Structure 1
Amino acid sequence: MKILISFFTFLTVLLCSHSSHAHALWIESSSYGTLNQSHEVKVYYGEFATNERDQVDKWYSDVKDFSLMLHAPGQEPVKLQLTNQGDHFSGSFQPTAAGTYLLSIVKAPKDLGGKTKYEFSSLVPVIVGKSATLDYKNVKSPLQIELLGAANAKKGQRIQAKITSFGKAVPQAKVSVFSTTGWGKEFVADEHGILTFDAIWAGPYVLEASTFAETAGEHEGKAYASTWQGSTTFITVK
């Protein structure tokens, strides 16, 4: 009986310690912007596929204290000012030159999940002007998803993305793809970190790559035995 109780306790602790990373942090924004016109950006935390968007005051630990950075062509990154809208943050920027603008977040909450250090990140491109390709060279996050080709995907089209860490491919990365229809599926990237899937539904999608490693260290004065990273990107299929 003691063995059974101990095993049950272990499972409970394990599930609780990983519950926060069942959620994701993601940026929503139109893939295309217009010169000299305000471009809206929103940031959510929750479950995209089930339309679960947590109230900001319920976000895990201090995730709400993230910084949203704008990487404009040929310029140093700047922090965007955001407004708490209850279940998300909103902000905007005005593109003044053609090219690829990148919106990025990297946030490691101060609190551990048991003995696990979490890190949430998101990277979303916005194309301004006639550029047909996406340029990610200005951002190299610990984990990020880079859409390959154009951002104007169409229903039925095959979409590809590359999973990278500090500019290097992440082979066999696990990536979950979610649609607002409630559809979701987990994929595994190939040996070059390339994910391929068919956009069978029209509408918004969130892609989430995740990694887990038994890597020990110290974070905010607390020792951890493992690390979890979750990184998202957003795309709208026409």
Structure 2
Amino acid sequence: MKILVSLFTFLAVLFYCNSSYAHALWIESAPYGAVNQSHEIKVYYGEYVTNERDLIEKWYSDVKDFTLLLHAPGKAPVQVQLTNKGDHFSGSFQPAEQGTYFLSVVKAPKDLGGQTKYEFSSLVPVIVGKSGKLDYSAIKNPLQVELQNSANAKKGASLQAKVTSEGKVVPHAKVSVFSSTGWGKEFVADVNGVVTFDALWSGAYVLEASTFVEKAGEHGGKPYASSWQGSTTFFEVK
């Protein structure tokens, strides 16, 4: 009986890990920058919670052919030039003025996963100068996670994030919270697309929102029966 229970527990955990912690694309960047100083950016693909960063040559389909955009305050987005570093892409930008900058990626791979269309995205704010409420109104990606408080929180603080799509809230979206300690937990957003969680440890975190819809369509000339979207944001807890 103990053997059967142990086997059942193992299979349950395996299923939970495979279903909850799927691969994602995420941007890593310090939450604060300074005028006229170079600000470093890194883009990874893998599983953050297990510290798995895939070699670029092994990234799914053509995910590596993404475009990273910089949204400077009051200006049109511009592409950030990146360098292949083996297990990530690296780049930088130099803020010319104070304000909140956003780094953004949206990539739908050309290949389907069976009959499912996939879309990976990431959005990260960088505050230059005085910190204030993060204003995401100018960014309207197909799916994005918006930090509702500071991009640089304190350990033990209660934090909130909102999930939106094209500027509209996404109620009941699944949001996974991953800590660099290896801890991860899945939450469900409320009717306003907001999820609340506690910053249990200091260090870096990644939030990933995901949606799955059984709706037929066509992508790259190929028909699909369902679509999955996953969007991340990166922040730090002091």
Same fold, TM exceeding 0.5? yes
Name the amino acid aligned to 2:35: L
Alignment match, 2:84: 84
Alignment match, 1:201: 201
Alignment match, 1:178: 178
Name the amino acid aligned to 2:182: G
SS of structure 1 residue aligned to 2:110: coil
Deviation string, structure 1 residues 16-48 (Cα, Å, up to 9, x no partner): xx99x9200000000000000000000000010
Work out whether 1:166 is the aligned partner of 2:159.
no
Work out whether 1:106 is the aligned partner of 2:106.
yes
- Shift of residue 53, structure 1, vs aligned partner: 0.2
Q: Which runs of 5+ in 1 are unaligned?
A: 1-14
Name the amino acid aligned to 2:196: T
- Aligned equivalents of 2:126 and 2:72: distance in 1? 10
Name the amino acid aligned to 1:65: D
SS of structure 1 residue aligned to 2:201: coil
Aligned length: 221
- Aligned equivalents of 2:131 and 2:168: distance in 1? 24
Name the amino acid aligned to 1:22: A
Alignment match, 2:153: 153
Alignment match, 1:216: 216
- Shift of residue 224, structure 1, vs aligned partner: 0.3
Matches within 5 A, 1:49-128: 49-128=49-128
- Shift of residue 232, structure 1, vs aligned partner: 0.2
Alignment match, 1:131: 131
- Aligned equivalents of 1:194 and 1:42: distance in 2? 27
- Shift of residue 137, structure 1, vs aligned partner: 1.4
Q: Which aligned runs of 4 or more in structure 1 are off by greater than 6 angstroms?
A: none
Scaled by the length of structure 1, the TM-score of the pair is 0.91
- Aligned equivalents of 1:45 and 1:151: distance in 2? 22
- Aligned equivalents of 1:169 and 1:217: distance in 2? 23
- Aligned equivalents of 1:60 and 1:127: distance in 2? 32
Name the amino acid aligned to 1:158: S
Q: CA RMSD for the aligned pairs?
A: 1.3
SS of structure 1 residue aligned to 2:112: coil
- Aligned equivalents of 1:54 and 1:131: distance in 2? 34
- Aligned equivalents of 2:34 and 2:141: distance in 1? 26
- Shift of residue 149, structure 1, vs aligned partner: 2.1
- Shift of residue 131, structure 1, vs aligned partner: 3.1
Work out whether 1:29 is the aligned partner of 2:29.
yes
- Aligned equivalents of 2:133 and 2:94: distance in 1? 20
Deviation string, structure 1 residues 189-217 (Cα, Å, up to 9, x no partner): 11100010000011000000000001111
Alignment match, 1:9: none
Deviation string, structure 1 residues 148-207 (Cα, Å, up to 9, x no partner): 022120100011010000011101110000011110000001110001000001100000
SS of structure 1 residue aligned to 2:50: coil
- Shift of residue 135, structure 1, vs aligned partner: 1.4
Scaled by the length of structure 2, the TM-score of the pair is 0.91
SS of structure 2 residue aligned to 1:64: helix
Identity %: 74
Name the amino acid aligned to 2:127: I
